[in-house]
Chain A
Amino acid sequence: DAGVIQSPRHEVTEMGQEVTLRCKPISGHDYLFWYRQTMMRGLELLIYFNNNVPIDDSGMPEDRFSAKMPNASFSTLKIQPSEPRDSAVYFCASSPLRGRERSPLHFGNGTRLTVT
């Protein structure tokens, strides 16, 4: 199993540009999560999907952020327009749901976004 795959690993862009982050979850996982990690705020949940449907997007900071999951094997997080304060590491994670036991999250290696 290749694990959760994120691309790109690093993204440097100028303020005002559109940024698209990509994620391929582990095959068979029903849940997909997008997190943002910064020194100041730690790990923040942005949005999560169950069976490709967004369940909770209350963590999405502004309308500039949007996320989609067109199928079970692909999700995108888009920022348009980007701002310097969006600079962070963005993680995608997936998880199956096995019975009553909460299965752990499997994280990708993240995308480090720098907006100048």
Chain B
Amino acid sequence: GNSVTQMEGPVTLSEEAFLTINCTYTATGYPSLFWYVQYPGEGLQLLLKATKADDKGSNKGFEATYRKETTSFHLEKGSVQVSDSAVYFCALSGARTGNQFYFGTGTSLTVIP
């Protein structure tokens, strides 16, 4: 079946620290992969995406590379800011998922000054 596994949170980092949030997936076929971010009191917003193997999605200093051989899509940022404090969700979707989206459980990030 289709599923997404994210590292457990919460994660607390100091400002300017390096961030990695691990995400691995199980899927039939070749899904598209996404990272969403949810700020307090808001809905999920697309952060970045990758649609095929070896693609790198990037946005706002965040990056993730679609690794088919390890079925992973880890989120990284070189220097986090207080404003990056949010919950991050990894997700997959594709034609063989019945056009559904499968989300991970979310990883809460708090960045302290």
Interfacial residues, chain A to chain B (CB-CB below 8 A): 4, 31, 33, 42-43, 45, 48, 50, 55-56, 91, 93, 97, 100-102, 104-110
Contact A109 B42 (CB under 8 A): yes
Contact A33 B44 (CB under 8 A): no
Top 4 closest pairs, chain A to chain B, by CB: A107-B43, A102-B32, A102-B93, A104-B46
B82 CB to closest chain A CB (Å) equals: 22
Contact A102 B31 (CB under 8 A): yes
A54 to B98, CA, bound (A): 13
Chain A residues, CB < 8 A from B43: 4, 91, 93, 107-110
Some 16 contacts from A to B, beta carbons below 8 A apart, are A42-B106, A43-B89, A45-B101, A55-B98, A56-B98, A93-B43, A102-B31, A102-B51, A102-B95, A102-B99, A105-B46, A105-B101, A107-B36, A107-B43, A107-B45, A109-B42
Chain B residues, CB < 8 A from A55: 98-99
- Is B20's CB within 8 Å of the partner chain A? no
Chain B residues, CB < 8 A from A48: 99-100
Give the nearest-CB partner of A3 in chain B.
B43
Q: How many residues of B sit at the interface, in one of the four size bands?
A: 20 to 34
Chain A residues, CB < 8 A from B94: 102
A23 CB to closest chain B CB (Å) equals: 11
Chain B residues, CB < 8 A from A31: 99
Select one of B31, B34, B41 contacting A104, CB under 8 A.
Answer: B34
Chain B positions 12-50 with a Cβ under 8 Å from a chain A Cβ: 31-32, 34, 36, 41-46, 49
B25 CB to closest chain A CB (Å) equals: 13
Contact A42 B105 (CB under 8 A): yes
A interface footprint on B77-102 (CB within 8 Å = 1, 0 otherwise): 00000000000010001110011110
Chain B residues, CB < 8 A from A43: 44, 89, 103, 106
